[in-house]
Chain A
């Protein structure tokens, strides 16, 4: 066990995968000499050479489209999209081909491609650098969509993603790149599509993922001071969704709040609420609530703190959940 940042953990995962499997390639914009704008690929080109880790022309559709061709020819490309909103030029390749080729070819073509996307806000970035794009990808059958909340998960999930025969959209919460945590590179695989109960509690389940896992844990600590015992479930795999772990938790607690940075309308949280309601209705003491970003384009840096779900806003939602205890107070639905 050693303390590393999430960026460092991702770097380790890439290095270990490159070392273990000669068919793994890492490429994208500025991933070579620079080591990526977030330094996630730092030192890899020097260590593994330009044949394995290289800069491409500046063209996202080109990066994903050529990765598809390379995967068809037996390689395992791991590509970097520089920022969330700059992955959109590659959207057609992702949805029309990456997600569907296995199905279209009835299993004959396997595309073990990982697309790493730094996503979300909270870093004071200017526009187009802070989108939460998970709903676009999770709506696409054939893709796996995963996102780590901690350095340890970042390492393990990325290793699992690279080993996966299915294409993976690997969403990296960029505001957590520099937060340190423990990392154990050995040990059993975590189970690539399993959610994890990060903190046990009896009263409320907070369902979070990616950048909001840390915020949810902070909320649970604050809530404890007010006498609420909050359980935190980290989804890790957004698609496929781990109904089992999530529903087991909600059945225990009877109350749930889903938290994400992305806009709420048509968002990923709506799917989680629907699934939990369908499967746990008789165990619920209150409607499942969402705390999300507002339904606005991502705001400028000086306003982003108002947009992003905060500990206070999540605590408010928890308070509204005490329906049966008549704690609703001034909080409207």
Chain B
């Protein structure tokens, strides 16, 4: 869509009908850096610009399913849940940021019964930080928003707990705090906030670590089975991997443009 048509659409107010309003809506949206927010539309916020911060045009994750073992997966999940104070609640009201599911369920549309080795394999799943995220589109308070570098973030203090984003996410990536999570956290990490009851949460691509110059915690402990980098940079690890190997994404037919890629 060219810029003229886009601004025409915007002018006509058609975006309010729920189309993606992701492109910089400079008329209504305060673009650029800083946490300023659009008056009306969900906007793209800038990412932190600190000196140490890792920066990217479009962050993405690549998971190499051939290198990924159950042990590594376990380590990744543990480190993610520990650093982010994710409670272990043993009921169906659980909270999960990073978890595993059977390959044939994660990629139902892309597997068949004769992929015998693959279909039963546990596969890591997490928020895909979609480029065209339905969760951002539906949120009535902009508590879920997208940064200019693509990370889909949440403002826990803004969220009203309507759970519309959970209905909208076609990957089941979000969890809701049905109750106070603190009693279910073994050792609270003071470096990261805990959540309160009544808000939604999910993986945030370790935005707090990127701001300090570190890669995501799961990537760091993945023994090379995961890569993280800038899709806009042809020389980045992720681009090199995606150029060299065959990769798939979850439910590509929905047009959400997931930014977590799985190497086969």
Partners in one complex: no
Q: B residues touching A (Cβ–Cβ < 8 Å)?
A: none
A interface residues, Cβ below 8 angstroms from B? none
